């Protein structure tokens, strides 16, 4: 009974419009991700609180000066040494890996990559590397959800949804920002917005946020009162701040591009260089070590002078870009917020000196810079806007932040012609992602949703008894297995005229492969595959038909069917050719 229920559940997941089954997947992915996020965060914070001065997980600057250099360098060398024993294919981590797996790997994230991300992310963050925990969180959450779906042998299209759910849940649990997590998953990872897709992703974000708050509390990440723009005359200055943020995000990606040229060099060399650069930067400004949220809070309340803000902005940007470009398993969301905060604080300070009666509060420009730099680096303007709103619980910043975010995006995209940091990594690793509407539509649907199950297996030499059964049943496809174990299929419009007019006695047979002219050779295809995989299989084999079967089925009538190129074309009303 249980097995039958799971089989029916898998069948319903074949269609992207199955709201209730996908809602169940969303709840499950949110809970799975939250558990792993809580474990990861506790394993990160407990050692840092025990070791760093003041029992603060962020107080790297409280260490003796020599540790500013020794800690990141030794941590990078240790990580590089460990990575030398990992196969290159399993070193690919972070959000770019999740995007590539979702679009090119059908949502299947390898278990070894998840382990590398978990261990590598902990080592990197514990040793003060300049990065955030969001990249590791997204990979671990998406990977754990994907692995759970794979263990249940769910269709590949539903694994994509579970991967997106894990992404949203990880962002939501990391920042206590469920809406931003949902939009980030749809905007950055899935690269599409669908009503059916929102349901499981929203439920995953809500579930993960609930469990995270139960452990860590419902803390407002950036308490900044209700700061707001004081006059419409500030809008040109806000646009200028957005343009400056666009320049900074472009510099970040350009540095990353140069470092990605070393992608084929030994991993120990690359990570060693990243640690060395971070250590040198930390000697000038130890505030750039680690995630840096304590420095973000200090920037919000105006503790830093203009000179220090500019220094921190430059060093945090450079250290993070170099580390990410050289393959350090860290995230860039947190650092992008920090760079934006330093930039916003510096530009806001300049504006306050020039126009003291016009400028808004210092923290207002900090928030504008955070939204603008994050939106431009990630190519996710909507996710950045919603993240800042949820982080502050301040609705007054929506209107001006929209202008800053779009100005930054235009500078980054149009003036410099750059992709997001994640897309830049994917291009360097030759993991180009196709996001055209037809490809996404084919990826959303499983072969089981479209295949024609009206078939019957017959022997090559048809007997009179088999002929009688065929004529008595409305069978559409005949499936014949030839001597080479190949599946040959024939549609009813081609086999029925011959079989209905052929007279056979009990001793006679008819050779169907010899007698039938309009027959097709069909490649064998696994039922859990997506329609995109089905089309790719047809193109690879040079065929127009697939015989779909379920290799996991152990009891009951076989779940199998036929998919044709014409069927795909008719379903989407598009000419799908080789």
- pLDDT tens for 95-141 read 999 999 888 867 789 999 999 999 999 999 999 999 999 999 999 99
Q: Three-state DSSP class for 450? A: helix
Expressed as residue numbers, the domain containing 159 is 2-222
**pLDDT value for 223:** 64
In a domain, 441, yes or no: no
In a domain, 440, yes or no: no
In a domain, 340, yes or no: yes
pLDDT above 80 (res 23): yes
pLDDT tens digit sequence for 131-172: 999 999 999 999 999 999 999 889 998 999 999 999 999 999
pLDDT tens digit sequence for 334-389: 999 999 999 999 998 888 888 877 777 888 999 999 999 999 999 999 999 999 98
Q: Which of 136, 155, 191 is nearest to 434 (CA)?
A: 191
State which of 190, 222, 254 marks the end of a domain.
222
487 and 397 share one domain? no
pLDDT tens digit sequence for 471-489: 888 899 999 988 888 899 9
| CB-based contact 99:188 (threshold 8 Å) | yes
The pLDDT-based confidence of 391 (bands split at 50, 70, 90) is: confident
Tell me the Cα Rg of the chain.
28
The pLDDT-based confidence of 233 (bands split at 50, 70, 90) is: confident
192 and 266 share one domain? no
303 and 342 share one domain? yes
325 and 398 share one domain? yes
Nearest-angstrom CA–CA distance, 114 and 56 = 28
56 and 110 share one domain? yes
Six token digits for residue 337:
């917020």
13 and 104 share one domain? yes
52 and 179 share one domain? yes
**pLDDT value for 578:** 35
pLDDT tens digit sequence for 404-452: 999 999 999 999 999 999 999 999 988 877 777 788 888 888 999 899 9
Helix spans in 191-305 (H) = 195-216, 235-260, 267-284, 293-300
Six token digits for residue 551:
């290799």
**pLDDT value for 362:** 83
In a domain, 433, yes or no: no
Nearest-angstrom CA–CA distance, 426 and 341 = 27
State which of 222, 251, 273 marks the end of a domain.
222
Lowest mean pLDDT among 263-267, 331-335, 567-571: 567-571
182 and 252 share one domain? no
Q: Which of 2, 23, 26, 22 is nearest to 13 (CA)?
A: 22
**pLDDT value for 16:** 83
State which of 201, 222, 243 marks the end of a domain.
222
In a domain, 326, yes or no: yes
Percent of the chain with pLDDT over 90: 63
**pLDDT value for 575:** 55
Nearest-angstrom CA–CA distance, 125 and 386 = 26
In a domain, 438, yes or no: no
Nearest-angstrom CA–CA distance, 522 and 538 = 9
pLDDT above 90 (res 190): no
CATH number reported for the structural domain that contains residue 506 in this entry: 3.10.580.10
355 and 457 share one domain? no
The pLDDT-based confidence of 224 (bands split at 50, 70, 90) is: low
Q: What is the mean pLDDT of the chain?
A: 90
Mean pLDDT of 394-413: 93
pLDDT above 90 (res 518): no
| CB-based contact 478:458 (threshold 8 Å) | yes
CATH number reported for the structural domain that contains residue 174 in this entry: 1.10.3080.10
pLDDT above 50 (res 577): no
204 and 116 share one domain? yes
Q: How many domains would you assign to the chain?
A: 3
Q: Which residue has the higher pLDDT, 140 or 507?
A: 140
161 and 305 share one domain? no
pTM, entire model: 0.90
- Residue 176 main-chain phi, psi, to 5 deg: 60, 45
In a domain, 151, yes or no: yes
Nearest-angstrom CA–CA distance, 339 and 256 = 15
The pLDDT-based confidence of 503 (bands split at 50, 70, 90) is: confident
The pLDDT-based confidence of 91 (bands split at 50, 70, 90) is: very high
128 and 262 share one domain? no
Q: Three-state DSSP class for 19? A: helix
In a domain, 277, yes or no: yes
pLDDT tens digit sequence for 24-60: 999 999 999 999 999 999 999 999 999 999 888 889 9
Q: Which residue has the higher pLDDT, 212 or 5?
A: 212
The pLDDT-based confidence of 220 (bands split at 50, 70, 90) is: low
Nearest-angstrom CA–CA distance, 578 and 567 = 14
**pLDDT value for 136:** 94
Mean pLDDT of 323-330: 95
Nearest-angstrom CA–CA distance, 190 and 106 = 11
Mean pLDDT of 55-66: 91
Q: What is the 3-state secondary structure (H, E, C) of 378-430?
A: HCCHHHHHHHHHHHHCCHHHHHHHHHHHHHHHHHHHHHCCCCCHHHHHHHHCC
């Amino acid at each position: 009974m249980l097995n039958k229920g799971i089989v029916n559940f898998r069948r319903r997941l074949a269609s992207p419009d199955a709201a209730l089954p996908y809602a169940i997947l969303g709840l499950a992915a949110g809970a799975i991700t939250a558990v792993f996020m809580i474990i990861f965060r506790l394993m990160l914070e407990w050692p840092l609180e025990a070791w760093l001065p003041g029992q603060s997980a962020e107080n790297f600057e409280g260490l003796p000066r020599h540790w500013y250099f020794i800690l990141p360098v030794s941590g990078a060398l240790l990580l590089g040494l460990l990575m030398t024993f990992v196969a290159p294919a399993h070193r690919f981590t972070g959000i770019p890996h999740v995007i590539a797996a979702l679009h090119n790997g059908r949502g299947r994230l390898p278990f070894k990559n998840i382990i590398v991300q978990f261990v590598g992310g902990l080592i990197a963050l514990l040793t003060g590397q300049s990065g955030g925990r969001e990249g590791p969180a997204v990979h671990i959450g998406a990977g754990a959800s994907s692995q759970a779906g794979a263990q249940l042998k769910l269709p590949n299209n539903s694994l994509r949804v579970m991967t997106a759910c894990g992404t949203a849940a990880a962002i939501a649990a990391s920042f206590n920002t469920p809406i931003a997590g949902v939009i980030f998953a749809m905007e950055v990872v899935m690269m599409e917005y669908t009503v059916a897709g929102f349901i499981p992703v929203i439920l995953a974000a809500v579930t993960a946020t609930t469990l995270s708050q139960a452990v860590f509390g419902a803390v407002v990440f950036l308490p900044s009162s209700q700061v707001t723009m004081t006059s419409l005359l500030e809008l040109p200055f806000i646009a200028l701040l957005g343009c400056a943020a666009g320049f900074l995000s472009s510099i970040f990606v350009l540095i990353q591009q140069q470092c990605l040229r070393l992608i084929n060099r030994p991993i120990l060399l690359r990570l060693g260089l990243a640690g060395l650069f971070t250590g040198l930067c930390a000697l000038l400004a130890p505030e750039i070590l680690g995630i840096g949220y304590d420095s973000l809070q200090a920037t919000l309340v105006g503790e830093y002078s203009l000179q220090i803000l500019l220094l921190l902005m430059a060093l945090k940007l450079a250290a993070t870009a170099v580390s990410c470009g050289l393959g350090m398993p860290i995230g860039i969301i947190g650092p992008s917020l920090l760079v934006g905060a330093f930039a916003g604080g510096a530009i806001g300070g300049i504006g306050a000196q020039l126009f003291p009666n016009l400028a808004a509060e210092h923290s207002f420009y900090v928030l504008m810079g955070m939204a603008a730099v994050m939106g431009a680096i990630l190519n996710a303007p909507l996710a950045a806007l919603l993240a800042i709103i949820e982080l502050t619980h301040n609705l007054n910043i929506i209107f001006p932040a929209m202008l800053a975010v779009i100005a930054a995006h235009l500078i980054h995209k149009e003036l410099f012609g750059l992709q997001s940091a994640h897309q830049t990594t994917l291009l360097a690793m030759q993991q180009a992602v196709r996001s055209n509407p037809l490809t996404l539509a084919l990826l959303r649907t499983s072969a089981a949703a479209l295949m024609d199950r009206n078939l019957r297996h017959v022997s090559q030499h048809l007997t009179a008894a088999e002929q009688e059964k065929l004529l008595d049943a409305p069978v559409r496809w005949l499936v014949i297995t030839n001597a080479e174990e190949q599946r040959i299929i024939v549609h009813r419009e081609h086999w029925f005229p011959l079989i209905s007019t052929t007279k056979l006695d009990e001793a006679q047979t008819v050779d169907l492969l010899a007698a039938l002219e309009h027959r097709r050779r069909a490649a064998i295809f696994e039922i859990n595959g997506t329609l995109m995989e089905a089309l790719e299989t047809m193109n690879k084999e040079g065929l127009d038909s697939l015989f779909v079967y379920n290799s996991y089925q152990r009891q009951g009538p076989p779940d199998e069917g036929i998919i044709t190129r014409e069927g795909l074309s008719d379903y989407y009303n598009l000419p799908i050719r080789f």
